[in-house]
Amino acid sequence: MKRIGVFVCHCGTNIANTVHCDQVAEVAKDFPGVVYSCDYKYMCAEPGQQLIQDAVREHNLDGYVVAACSPRMHEPTFRKCAERAGLNPYMIEQVNIREQCSWVHADKEKGTEKSIDLLRMAVAKARKNEPLSSSTIPVTKRALVIGAGIAGIQTAIDIADNGFQVTLLDREHSIGGRMAQVDKTFPTLDCSACILTPKMVEAAQHPNIEMVTYAEVTAVDGFVGNFDVTIRKKARYVDFDKCTGCGACQEKCPKKVSSEFEMGLGPRKAIYVPFPQAVPNKPVIDAEHCRYLLDGKCGVCKKICPTEAVDYEQKDEVIVERYGSIVVATGFDQFDISKYEEYGAGRYPDVITGLHLERLMNASGPTAGKIKRPSDGKVPEKIVFIKCVGSRDEAKGRPYCSKACCMYVAKHATLIKEKMPQSKSYIFYMDVRTGGKSYEEFYKRTQEQYDGQYIRGRVSKIFQVGDKLIVRGEDSLIGRPVEIEADLVVLAAGMEPRADAVALARTLGISYDQHGWYTEAHPKLQPIETHTAGIYLAGVCQGPKDIPESVAQASAAAVKATGLLSKGELTSEAMIAECNEAVCAGCGLCISVCPYKAIEKKKVSERVHGQMKERVVAVVNPGLCQGCGACTVNCPSSAMNINGFTNEQILAEVDALCQR
């Protein structure tokens, strides 16, 4: 029989106030297998650990049980302690009598009784513990960043600067993302492109960064340290090796298409570069609109191209690459304002969103920086802003705050006044939330120096009379309805997850919340990590953020990703599933429930009645298995077991509880 030790911790008064620790230790002496038992004030402290190590040696213990806090807190401590005492670290058990007993109960007698029961079970389990060992897996020293907005770019540059290879991937054919569409940034009002484009160029030219644009991730296999990522590179119909980016094709292309980059406010061609500072600055053909690709007529771009770079025969290319870690930085979509029918959004051309206004203010935008309203090109004088459109609105399924809108509206009102001193901005708000360095001061300036009139209340309706938009709402501070005849209405549309965010999350195997934002592993202490090892988050894909926050999270993600890559190898989990081939029927139910694709079928040969027979059994890949246990509960013949949590051990615990 194994010789087991028991160590009961007081945790100062945390446990001792509700549990008679000395009594618990005393009763444990009579448990089968227990040869030594004691209690101590702080087991995790250095003298406590020393006490354990001494007892192991003195009493020749095969394993021990610590009754203390949650294993989440100190299991690694006591495992290391076991190792120092010469035991296999998996020969110990920790039973939680703090979070699951003393902290949640008031009656000391009952608390003691419960602690004894919990301990009795743990001892029964410990007697059946077997030494386990973990193996190591090599790490592919290369990272993938999905999404090349400001967050993705910053992550890629930081990883690359740390000396690791990184692939920066984007589905658009230029990197830059949302920030490239923005005119000026708050609170400093510096030009967005002026601070972004140097980073775009740096990313493009960095020797450690491989830029893969116009491409999407279609599948992810493997696990931390070794992800096998399938990437589909969309056909560009332009050979980038030959193309010099001269732009002749764009000029001559006869097909005009509404530009996505310009939010539909301006045209582009069917062969195009989305914006002048695009990286890479070479065009692609939009197959949905190209006349040649649609009906075989035209071909002007091919004729005009001096380097014969246009290639109508190009096809999508699928590649599989291996990465050690992945950073997801896929950003956001702007809330679809047409869901607010009362604002006539989608019906009235002069009801626009913040991003539309960015393009109308931008010097390289469709109006060359002169604010003209979309309907008739008139310069607006009265401009109404409505905040919280698609934010903080439960009726629209968007109860959260989009965080950046309060500041970008203040920025818009300031810039409009600067550009057009005769204009007047009215801002309908629910609350003004300008937490952030120098943000509140900026908002105050908008009110005091830039004549932004803030009206507290919601707008109930916008309608058109003549060429004016009548904005009807309530001023809830004076308790009166207000009506403003506006020339232009700007809705501060909130942020929402990318339309296909959930699909990508499923491909990656990361979790997401009810809205589709990717979930961090811990809201306070692990805001960068996902629940899936080796995959990290940066920027708005995790939740609404402004630029500085996105950049900060991006650099943090880079640190996490690099930290993983800088390890030569990873220690795999020891408590993983194992198949008892002798009883496995090869039904494959475990394969279908395994979330990590860690189980496969294999053929085994065995001699039955003197004849060699082949049959199929399940086999667990120890590198992939995370020890979740889904296969064990699903196995009809109990062939699957989690090492360290075998069926036998669980039953021993149940028996111990029933036999008291």
Partner 1 sequence: MKYGFYPGCSLHGTGIEYGMSTTVVAKKLDINLVEIPDWNCCGASSAHNTDPLLAKALPARNLALAEQYGLNDIAIPCAACYQRLKMSELAVQKEETREEISEIIEMNLKGKARARSILEVFSNDLSEERIREEVVKPLTGLKVACYYGCLLVKPPEVAIDSTEHPLMMDRIITTLGGTPVEWDYKTECCGGALSLTRVDAAVMMTAKILHYAKLAGADCIATPCPLCTSNLDMRQKAAEKALGISINLPVYYFTELMGTAFGIAPNELGLDKHFVEAKSLLQNISAPAGQ
Residues contributing to the site for partner 1 (CB under 8 A):
341-342, 344, 347, 461, 463-465
- Whether 328 contacts 147, CB under 8 Å: yes
- What is the token pair recorded at 222? 């493997």
Residue 397 CB, shortest distance to partner 1, in Å, is 13
Residue 389 CB, shortest distance to partner 1, in Å, is 14
- What is the token pair recorded at 96? 């939680």
Residue 474 CB, shortest distance to partner 1, in Å, is 15
- Whether 243 contacts 298, CB under 8 Å: no
Residue 66 CB, shortest distance to partner 1, in Å, is 52
CA dist., res. 148 & res. 603, Å (int) = 45
Nearer to partner 1, 347 or 660 (CB): 347
Nearer to partner 1, 80 or 461 (CB): 461
Nearer to partner 1, 103 or 463 (CB): 463
Residues 6 or more apart whose Cβ sits within 8 Å of residue 467: 375, 376, 378, 487
Nearer to partner 1, 258 or 460 (CB): 460
Residue 407 CB, shortest distance to partner 1, in Å, is 29
- Whether 17 contacts 102, CB under 8 Å: yes
- What is the token pair recorded at 591? 């394969």
- Whether 521 contacts 531, CB under 8 Å: yes
CA dist., res. 20 & res. 645, Å (int) = 29
CA dist., res. 613 & res. 605, Å (int) = 5
Residue 341 CB, shortest distance to partner 1, in Å, is 3
Nearer to partner 1, 1 or 465 (CB): 465
Nearer to partner 1, 207 or 466 (CB): 466
CA dist., res. 407 & res. 400, Å (int) = 16
Residue 463 CB, shortest distance to partner 1, in Å, is 3
Residue 461 CB, shortest distance to partner 1, in Å, is 7
CA dist., res. 525 & res. 518, Å (int) = 16
Nearer to partner 1, 42 or 463 (CB): 463
Residue 470 CB, shortest distance to partner 1, in Å, is 8
CA dist., res. 626 & res. 572, Å (int) = 9
Nearer to partner 1, 317 or 342 (CB): 342
CA dist., res. 440 & res. 16, Å (int) = 49
- What is the token pair recorded at 488? 């232009």
Residue 423 CB, shortest distance to partner 1, in Å, is 25
Distances (CA, A) of 419 to 2, 184, 405, 422, 521: 83, 13, 21, 9, 45
> How do 325-328 and 535-537 pair as beta strands?
parallel
Nearer to partner 1, 344 or 543 (CB): 344
Residue 339 CB, shortest distance to partner 1, in Å, is 10
Which 3 state secondary structure label does DSSP give 266? Answer: coil
- Looking at residue 402, its amino acid is S
- What is the token pair recorded at 660? 């008291």
- What is the token pair recorded at 147? 């999404």
Residue 330 CB, shortest distance to partner 1, in Å, is 32
Nearer to partner 1, 485 or 606 (CB): 485
Nearer to partner 1, 307 or 460 (CB): 460
Nearer to partner 1, 23 or 464 (CB): 464
Nearer to partner 1, 464 or 638 (CB): 464
Residue 465 CB, shortest distance to partner 1, in Å, is 6
In terms of Cβ atoms closer than 10 Å to its own Cβ (0-12, 13-18, 19+), residue 231 is buried
Nearer to partner 1, 109 or 341 (CB): 341
Which 3 state secondary structure label does DSSP give 576? Answer: coil
CA angle 442, 446, 451 (to 5 degrees): 165
CA dist., res. 388 & res. 473, Å (int) = 14
- Hey, which residues does 222 pair with through a beta bridge? 227
DSSP string, 445-490: HHHHTS--EEEES-EEEEEEETTEEEEEEEETTTTEEEEEEESEEE
Nearer to partner 1, 254 or 481 (CB): 481
Please name the helix (run of DSSP H) or strand (run of DSSP E) that holds residue 120, with its range, or none: helix 108-126
Residues 6 or more apart whose Cβ sits within 8 Å of residue 32: 1, 123, 124, 127
Residue 342 CB, shortest distance to partner 1, in Å, is 5
Residue 306 CB, shortest distance to partner 1, in Å, is 51
- Hey, which residues does 142 pair with through a beta bridge? 165
Nearer to partner 1, 360 or 484 (CB): 484
H/E/C letters for each residue in 4-17?
EEEEEECCCCCCCC
Q: Nearest to residue 423, comparing CAs of 459, 453, 455?
A: 453
Nearer to partner 1, 312 or 348 (CB): 348
> Length of the chain in residues, anyone?
660
Which regions of 122-171 does DSSP assign to beta strands (E)?
136-138, 142-146, 165-170
Residues 6 or more apart whose Cβ sits within 8 Å of residue 535: 224, 325, 326, 327, 328, 508, 509, 510, 529
Residue 290 CB, shortest distance to partner 1, in Å, is 35
CA dist., res. 527 & res. 518, Å (int) = 11
Residue 455 CB, shortest distance to partner 1, in Å, is 21
